[in-house]
Structure 1
């Protein structure tokens, strides 16, 4: 059996602790010495079926849960939405503390109404040009430029130059700075979902 010993031991320990069992209790139930189980949990003992089968039975889990734990599907499957002419594609799960979106702003001659809300935003221009108004700053960001700003400062975004602008936007809803300074253009991060006016 070629399971990673350290990970295997950590899985056994986690399952044991989740069930409120001590090393001695699980070792006795699995008919082995406490030192054997301790060495197995610390990755210092080679695992074999004779040891793992009784352990998994006493823990009430499958052998596969120890050897090949099932990882959740990492893909994010959320629909793109149209919001006030913008195309907004969520790139993170709904319950993520930091939300990431791919936002395409349509060409516009008018800057949307300035908005304020708690949090920080970091944005990166993927294509086109983005007009970003933050407080007294009225900026134009080109492809490859980034900005970070406090969304409690009045702000608004729109495409500039008569063509759509596609932006990667990261919103920290906890209101903490994200420390991801990558570019020049105005200064500080935003929280909440992209809205037609922002």
Structure 2
């Protein structure tokens, strides 16, 4: 088996640390909290005990593959190994704090915090056409009509929603959303954020841009 310590570009055993000064005590502390001996942790990571010892004493810099392997073993993240502190989530989203994003005629205003399991948006939806994309993806969606009327196709069923109406559905069901009024419609939209970046939400292959 090829050891991660044998990867090209790895510094010499006695190289002095100059990039990640805090990672050494983090590695040592995490290993001890997991109750692992140096030998056991090194074996799981595909390293020699001597190499892991040099990482824990700061005599050698870990490569990214090493950090990934050690993070998995210790049940943490690379960011945590590097001592990075995630930003606190601001519970309040002020009007006008972020610029709207437009793609394929859809205009998105951020209505929730970034990095949450739920993505909340205020959306202007253009008039529905037969060319609108039918979308299928993991998760759930909820929408509430503010102004105008919305045509929601779910599988073989078509629903027309008036202001004040809402819909909540599994987004693995083929769906298409468009305004039933020529001037478009405005709605609140919430979906579970799995793998889609916020700007790519329900946009198909469109390229979003700031207005």
Partners of 2:132 and 2:104 lie apart in 1 by 10
Aligned-pair distance for 1:107? Answer: 2.3
Partners of 1:196 and 1:142 lie apart in 2 by 25
Question: 1:72–1:132: structure 2 CA closer, same or farther, 3 Å change rule?
Answer: closer
Structure 2 residue 201 is the aligned partner of structure 1 residue 193: yes
> Match of 2:133, SS?
coil
2:54 equivalent in structure 1 = none
Question: 1:96–1:108: structure 2 CA closer, same or farther, 3 Å change rule?
Answer: same
Kept in 2: contact 1:125–1:142 (CA 8 A): yes
Aligned-pair distance for 1:170? Answer: 0.6
1:146 equivalent in structure 2 = 166
Gaps of 5+ in 1: 1-70, 176-191
Kept in 2: contact 1:131–1:157 (CA 8 A): yes
TM-score, normalised to structure 1, is 0.51
Structure 2 residue 83 is the aligned partner of structure 1 residue 75: no
Match among 123, 128, 140 for residue 148 of structure 2: 128
Aligned-pair distance for 1:104? Answer: 0.4
> Match of 1:104, SS?
strand
Question: 1:174–1:163: structure 2 CA closer, same or farther, 3 Å change rule?
Answer: same
1:18-33 equivalence runs, <5 A: none
Structure 2 residue 89 is the aligned partner of structure 1 residue 86: no
Gaps of 5+ in 2: 1-88, 206-211
Number of equivalenced pairs: 112
Partners of 1:81 and 1:95 lie apart in 2 by 17
Kept in 2: contact 1:111–1:156 (CA 8 A): no
Kept in 2: contact 1:111–1:158 (CA 8 A): no
